[in-house]
Structure 1
Amino acid sequence: MPILLALDASSSACSVALSIQRGADEPRLISRFAMTPREHTRRLLPMVDEVLAEAGVTPGELDAVAYGRGPGSFTGLRIAAGAAQGLAYGLECPLLGVSTLEALALAAHRRHGVEYVATALDARMSEIYAAAWRCRDGNVEALLGEAVIAPQRLRLPAVAGPDGWYGIGSGWTLWESMPVEVQAAVSQRDSDTEPAAEEMVLLAARQYTAGERTAPHEAQPIYLRDQVAWQKGG
C-alpha cells in the first residue's frame, strides 16, 4: 500500500492526513483537523510535520501528495494546491487532486453508513456547489455531476432508497431556499461538517492504485465558477 499525504484548506477548516501501511501491519490513518479561518497558510505545513513525525515517516518515503482540489474557498484552494505542489516538486513524486464534495460524501458514508448522499457547500453569491453520490462498501459513485447553482435550482435524482437522501455540507444552511421536492427527498441534514483530508487520503489511495497520477506542474484547483455564465444563459 502506498504512503500518501493529503492536505486540505478548501473551507474554514484546515486538515492534513497520512495513510501508511508497512509490511503485514494494519493500515494506519493519522490526521489533524482544526477550524482555522484565515490561518491556513500558518497552520497547514506544521500539521504536515506533525503527522509525519507521529508516523515516523520521512518526506522522502511519500509515494504521492494529494490535495483538496475543490470546489471551495478560492484562497484556500490555492493555498492547498500550492503547498502540495511545492512538496511534490521537492520530493519528485506525483500529485493527486481530490474532490471536496466527494470527500464529504465519503465522510457521511463512513460516519453514518448512508448510501445516498447529497453534498452542498456554500459558494456565496446566493449559490451552492452541489453534487449527489451513491456510497457502497466505502466506494463513492457520482450520480449528479459537480456544479455551482442557485439553491432554488437544485434537483436530485429520483433513485434514493427508503431512507432518502442524506444532505451534508455548509450549503444546506440554505435549506429554506431549496425546492420543496428536494426538501421532501432529504431525510437528514448535516450543515456543520467540512471537507477533511482524512477522507481525501482514502480517495487518493484509490486513485493511486488505479494508476491516476498528475505531475506537480499540473496542479489545478477546481473552482466551478466558469460554469456560472453558461448556466444563467441557458
Structure 2
Amino acid sequence: MTLNILLIDTSSSCVEFGYACDDRLIHEYRSCEKNSADTIAYEINKFFKTDGMSPLETHAVSLSNGPGSFTGLRIGSAFAKGFCFAAGCKLVQISSLDILANRANLSAQKFAAVISSNSGAGEFYYSVYEKEDGKCKRISGYSVALMKDISSMKIPIVSETPLPVEFSGEVELADLHETAIQSHHQLAITMVNDQTFTDISNAEPFYMKEFTIKK
C-alpha cells in the first residue's frame, strides 16, 4: 500500500507544502508573498483538484510545528488538525529547527540551527546538533538566545535567513542541501514508520515564547 503524506510548513514568511507517495515527492509548493499562510488551504485544495487525488487517500499530515511565526503556526496547526479530522488521517508534528538542521551540508561535527524570533529583541531560537553516520542528531534542548551568545559556542551555524551583519564574519555558516520540504519529508517518513503520532485533540504549536503585543 502506498504511504501518502501531506507536508505543511507555515512557520516562516515563506509558506510551503508538499505531497509524498512513499519516498517520492510528487508535488512541492512554496510562496514567499505577504500573508501567504492565509492561502494554504486554497493551494492544497487546488493541488488535490488538479492532480485528481482525494484527500481521503492521505494517511498522515506532517506539520512543521515551530518555533517560528506565531500567526503562521496557528494557521498551519488549525488547518492540519481540521484536515486530519475530516480525512481520518494521523498527525505528525516536527520541530522547524529539526527540519532546518537536517538540511545541513556538514560532516560529523557539532553545529547550531537557528531561526530568528522576529521579536525585535534580536533573539534566535536554536538547538545544537551533530552528524552521526550521515544522520542528524539533536544533542541539546530547544533554547532562545542572542546571536552573540550562540556565536560564542564557536561552532558552525545553519540558518535559512541572513544573520545580523555584525556577525557575518564571526561565524561559519554551513551550506544547506535539499529543500525544506525534502528535509521535512525525510523526517516525516521516519516518524510515520515509527508511529510517532500526535493526538489532534491535544496538538498545539511549539511557540517557545509567549506572544506579546508591542505597545
Q: Match of 2:98, as an amino acid?
A: E
Q: Match of 1:224, as an amino acid?
A: M
TM-score by length of 1: 0.75
Task: Identify, as 1 or 2, the structure richer in helix.
Answer: 1
Q: Match of 1:165, as an amino acid?
A: P
Q: Structure 1 63/156 Cα, relative in aligned 2: closer, same or farther at 3 Å? A: farther
Match of 2:183 in 1: 199
Number of aligned residues: 205
Q: Which has the higher contact order (CA 8 A, sep 6+)?
A: 1
Partner Cα distance (1:205, 1:51) in 2: 21
Contact 1:130 1:147 in 2 (8 A): yes
1:27 aligns with 2:24: yes
Contact 2:114 2:157 in 1 (8 A): no
Aligned with residue 167 of structure 1, among 151, 158, 162: 158
Q: Match of 1:174, as an amino acid?
A: P
Partner Cα distance (1:154, 1:34) in 2: 30
Contact 1:144 1:157 in 2 (8 A): no
Contact 1:132 1:144 in 2 (8 A): yes
Say what the alpha-carbon RMSD is for the aligned residues. 2.9
Q: How far does the alpha carbon of each residue in 1:81-119 deviate from its partner, in whole angstroms, 9 at most, with x for none?
A: 0110110010121111111111111223xxx45554421
TM-score by length of 2: 0.81
Partner Cα distance (1:139, 1:221) in 2: 26
Q: Match of 2:186, as an amino acid?
A: L
Match of 2:116 in 1: 122
| TM superposition shift of 1:143 | 2.2
Write the mapping of 1:96-135 to structure 2, written as runs, cut at 5 A: 96-108=92-104, 112=105, 115-116=108-109, 117-123=111-117, 124=119, 125-135=121-131
Structure 1, unaligned runs of 5 or more: 159-163, 227-234
Q: Match of 1:188, as an amino acid?
A: L
Write the mapping of 1:5-20 to structure 2, written as runs, cut at 5 A: 5-20=6-21
Percentage of matched positions with identical amino acids: 22
Moved more, 136-145 or 32-41: 136-145
Q: Match of 2:191, as an amino acid?
A: Q
Q: Match of 2:34, as an amino acid?
A: P
| TM superposition shift of 1:28 | 3.4
Aligned with residue 92 of structure 1, among 88, 92, 96: 88
Partner Cα distance (1:196, 1:149) in 2: 23
Contact 1:5 1:17 in 2 (8 A): yes
Q: Structure 1 107/46 Cα, relative in aligned 2: closer, same or farther at 3 Å? A: farther
Structure 2, unaligned runs of 5 or more: 211-215
Contact 1:9 1:79 in 2 (8 A): yes
